[in-house]
Amino acid sequence: MRQKSELLQSFYVRKLKVLADTTLLAVLEILMEEPKYFGELNVVLGLEQSLLSHHPKSCRKRGLSRQRQMGRQCFTV
């Protein structure tokens, strides 16, 4: 039972870390409206590509978004 509780706590900690990061939170707010190509996220947020590149991946790793390939481009949903 204790192991289940620790797993649940770990799950919530990972989700809350996303909310604590203002850029990640902004990415999620944009993606809740509609799927976006990475370049569109970059334009909307006005960040350098190098500063933004790890944020969509971080959202995917935490199970908060998915990536879909369309031709040579990927978009995040």
Q: Please, what are the domains in the chain?
A: 2-76 (1.10.10.10)
And the tokens for 66? 């998915």
In total, the chain counts a number of residues equal to 77
Q: Which residue has the higher pLDDT, 37 or 67?
A: 37
29: pLDDT strictly greater than 60: yes
Nearest one of 57, 58, 66 to 14, comparing CA atoms: 58
CB count in 10 Å sphere of residue 65: 20
Report the mean per-residue pLDDT for the chain.
Answer: 76
1: pLDDT strictly greater than 60: no
Looking at beta carbons, which pairs linking 27-33 to residues 24 or more positions away fall under 8 Å?
Answer: 27/52, 27/55, 27/56, 27/59, 27/65, 28/59, 28/64, 28/65, 31/59, 31/65, 31/76, 31/77
0.85 exceeded by pTM: no
Average pLDDT over residues 27-40: 81
Average pLDDT over residues 51-58: 70
